[in-house]
Amino acid sequence: MTPILLLGAGRMGGAILDGWAKAGAFAARDILIVDPFPSEAAKRMEAAGARLNPPAAALAQARTVILAVKPQKWLEAAAQHGAHLAPDAVIVSIAAGVPTEAISREFGGRTVARVMPNTAAAINRGTTSLYAADPDARARARALFAPLGAVVELPEEALIHAGTAVAGSGPAYLYAFVETLEAAGAAIGLSPDDAKALARSTVIGAAALLEASGEEPAELRRQVTSPAGTTEAAMNVLLGEHGLPPLMREAVAAAQRRSKELGG
């Protein structure tokens, strides 16, 4: 499946490169990167031996191609680079919303896998949704993203929109949660620094406990919620009629809708 060509090495492409380097997943000499304004991650990989913006003729060496440009730019990337690729190169697309059929068409009928990773890939704690009808494309996509964290294979392509809404966009939900917990702490009298330290450490610790204990989150929540206690008072708000459940459903549905729109 190598050499691998990364088309677009911005935020997500850069996170993939950093994650591979950290995991020791692929030899740098087996990585080609094309990006008009290379990120620091792309430059680091170049320093390790990857080929950055090689002549177009070199792109034909790639066996697997990751399409990692913004969804708005993928057609341009396909037009610019598609003709230089080997006929049997497999395309692994991370472009939100863009369907397999359109990618395959614009890349001359080549086989396609779709993945939706997230930026924690950079520290090998990413989460990737994957869909490919073709078994070889699926296996390659898994091999590319398994070193970067968890990979969840979805049974239907349409579910990639839902995978995007939960895991692709998901890190931002948690960051927003931390921001609002910090702000709420400051609003009830904590200094901004203390609110920040308490909120961050609590969220990171709670996530680590979720992982280490293997318990269901509802069970962990019950364990810290004593009857008529302080946590219960907060839960009555947070899990109430206008609380997190309807808000989260609405937020995730909005992300899913937008993913569909981006696909055109």
Ligand X SMILES: NC(=O)c1ccc[n+]([C@@H]2O[C@H](COP(=O)([O-])OP(=O)(O)OC[C@H]3O[C@@H](n4cnc5c(N)ncnc54)[C@H](OP(=O)(O)O)[C@@H]3O)[C@@H](O)[C@H]2O)c1
What is the binding site for ligand X (CB under 6 A)? 7-8, 10-13, 34-37, 68-71, 73, 76-77, 80, 94-96, 116-119, 168
To the nearest whole angstrom, how small is the minimum distance from the Cβ of residue 36 to ligand X?
A: 5
CB of 68 or CB of 199, closer to ligand X = 68
To the nearest whole angstrom, how small is the minimum distance from the Cβ of residue 13 to ligand X?
A: 5
To the nearest whole angstrom, how small is the minimum distance from the Cβ of residue 19 to ligand X?
A: 12
Whether the upstream peptide bond of residue 171 has omega within 30° of 0, thus cis, is no
Q: Can you give 158-221 as a three-state secondary structure string?
A: CHHHHHHHHHHCHHHHHHHHHHHHHHHHHHCCCCHHHHHHHHHHHHHHHHHHHHHHCCCHHHHH
Contact 116/141 with Cβ under 8 angstroms?
A: no
Question: Where does residue 31 fall: left (phi above 0), alpha (psi -120 to 50 degrees), or beta otherwise?
Answer: beta
Q: How far apart are CA 101 and CA 172, in angstroms?
A: 29
CB of 80 or CB of 231, closer to ligand X = 80
To the nearest whole angstrom, how small is the minimum distance from the Cβ of residue 18 to ligand X?
A: 12
CB of 25 or CB of 59, closer to ligand X = 59
To the nearest whole angstrom, how small is the minimum distance from the Cβ of residue 217 to ligand X?
A: 23
Q: How far apart are CA 69 and CA 177, in angstroms?
A: 28
Contact 172/258 with Cβ under 8 angstroms?
A: no
CB of 25 or CB of 116, closer to ligand X = 116
- Name the strands in the sheet holding 31-34, side by side, starting at the edge strand that comes first in the sequence: 51-52, 31-34, 4-7, 64-67, 90-93, 112-116, 126-131, 149-153
CA 175, 72, 52, 24 torsion-angle sign: positive
CB of 77 or CB of 92, closer to ligand X = 77
CB of 57 or CB of 212, closer to ligand X = 57
CB of 111 or CB of 118, closer to ligand X = 118
Termini Cα distance of the chain: 30
To the nearest whole angstrom, how small is the minimum distance from the Cβ of residue 170 to ligand X?
A: 10
> What is the number of the residue whose Cβ is closest to ligand X?
10
Tokens of residue 38, six digits: 């290379």
To the nearest whole angstrom, how small is the minimum distance from the Cβ of residue 31 to ligand X?
A: 14
